[in-house]
Structure 1
């Protein structure tokens, strides 16, 4: 599996640079037609009933919360089969402008990165290497077409980062809350290569995102991102726990425990020492 874990949380692109991806499509301009009825005859077996007020659901899950900036302190555990100590992460999101991350092991800075609408940069202080890439390069490299700055913001804040439309997905109500399942395989075309995915999302009754699952129908590749322990901070609901599981020839996972949220501005320094070596993502 190509390493795409780091694309999701920025800095791991340089600290664990070769795992494989699964994802799907993005579109911030999802169209909602309140007159369109999803195929209730295709209701998943575990759903109890169709959702009548679909417009309210889509408004809650697709419209991002208002904020200017947010700082998140996290404990990060990466499980790839190789020993990686628990990392302390500081994540700073300035809406529509940048996502900055700094990682520490004990008291030592080990990595730093920044994503902007133009691309993503990261440096590994332990190996004195760095990456500098635009999103088009990463999408082509990873055989996807959804990675952009907004998708990075959404993944970190527990917001819907996949494209869901009333024509391609079925919305139902079940015991956990709301379930959205693709009614046909979702295709991604990059460099004349087509991959197909089965996609499902689960939300609770408060419209908090609980799980996103992306399954490649032609292989064992699977991505699952789950969110839990949601709470309200400064009138914004945010998850305290995030789990990213990547399944393929082997299983890897990233666990983030968000311990503190702060909404004040902070400095986000980023510069690469001249002695660092640029690396390519393979």
Structure 2
């Protein structure tokens, strides 16, 4: 698999450990767009008794941010065991419509991609190849079933992207914030195959998402995502640092340092030259 494909897949999905998403429910008629992940095996120090009324917490962590478009400039470092230089990424999100990404190495554009509710497209300018896929194809590639356009937006903006509910999760609070942990293994079934996961999420006192962990009960597969250095910009809380750790048959991690946020519109060109060759990801 080409290095640029690894980068695009990691940035677009933030997961390549063999995961499958839980449902899309939240009690009390709160609309959710599932989002799930992060886990720390130790209970927080000085944890209080479980919070029984979880509604105020869900009201803070479930609703998506309100915006029309956001441009994010990022420094990206990927560790996969193969050399990948530090990449400069421009990520442009037009709410509910598209996520456009341009990747540069040493001031030269090496890859470009775009995701819409219909699917994803990406091109590697160094090898003159491209991909064109729906989300089902990407989910099959990564052995997951929850990735869609809305979850992609939430992942990039540090919002809760796994399914959480009142009855199967325990919520506690301590001096650092909140911790939400599945009290029963979360069964995720797709096409007749069932896997079980332990899920934990940590939030600070401002309800900013700090960590998400998804651990397969029967295998070494594990995904951890952490967000740090949150700032309020134009009335929206946004993380400046994102760290993704993927464990399984192969381990990898990706670090994003978001250096600038801009809310103005921008052009998002995407076209594939006729000389480029379409490739299948295996």
Scaled by the length of structure 1, the TM-score of the pair is: 0.88
Structure 2 residue corresponding to 1:10, chosen from 9, 12, 30: 12
Q: What's the CA shift string for 1:186-233, capped at 9, x where partnerless?
A: 122223222211111000000000001000111111000000000010
Match of 2:151 in 1: 151
In 2, distance between residues paired with 1:26 and 1:99? 24
Match of 2:240 in 1: 240
Match of 1:132 in 2: 132
SS of 2:141's partner is helix
Match of 2:34 in 1: none
Tell me, yes or no, if the aligned pair for 1:116 and 1:149 is still in contact at 8 Å: yes
Relative to structure 1, the CA distance from residue 193 to residue 12 in structure 2 (aligned partners, 3 Å threshold; closer, same or farther) is closer
Query: Which structure would you say has the larger RCO, counting Cα contacts within 8 Å and 6 or more residues apart?
Result: 2
Q: Report deviation, 1:277.
A: 1.4
Q: Report deviation, 1:12.
A: 9.7
Relative to structure 1, the CA distance from residue 239 to residue 138 in structure 2 (aligned partners, 3 Å threshold; closer, same or farther) is same
Scaled by the length of structure 2, the TM-score of the pair is: 0.88
Match of 2:21 in 1: 24
Match of 2:33 in 1: none
In 2, distance between residues paired with 1:82 and 1:101? 22
> 2:191 aligned with 1:203, yes or no?
no
Relative to structure 1, the CA distance from residue 155 to residue 96 in structure 2 (aligned partners, 3 Å threshold; closer, same or farther) is same
Q: What's the CA shift string for 1:145-175, capped at 9, x where partnerless?
A: 2100011100000000001010221111134
SS of 1:10's partner is helix
- Provide the aligned C-alpha RMSD in A: 2.2
SS of 2:265's partner is coil
Q: What's the CA shift string for 1:13-66, capped at 9, x where partnerless?
A: 9xxxxx643352352x533369xxxxxxxxx85432322542111011000111
Match of 2:37 in 1: none
Match of 1:72 in 2: 72
Relative to structure 1, the CA distance from residue 86 to residue 133 in structure 2 (aligned partners, 3 Å threshold; closer, same or farther) is same
SS of 2:57's partner is helix
Match of 1:272 in 2: 272
Unaligned 5+ residue runs, structure 1? 14-18, 35-43
Match of 1:38 in 2: none
In 1, distance between residues paired with 2:23 and 2:272? 31
Relative to structure 1, the CA distance from residue 208 to residue 33 in structure 2 (aligned partners, 3 Å threshold; closer, same or farther) is same
Unaligned 5+ residue runs, structure 2? 31-41
Q: What's the CA shift string for 1:225-246, capped at 9, x where partnerless?
A: 0000000100100000000100
Tell me, yes or no, if the aligned pair for 1:71 and 1:261 is still in contact at 8 Å: yes
Match of 2:219 in 1: 219
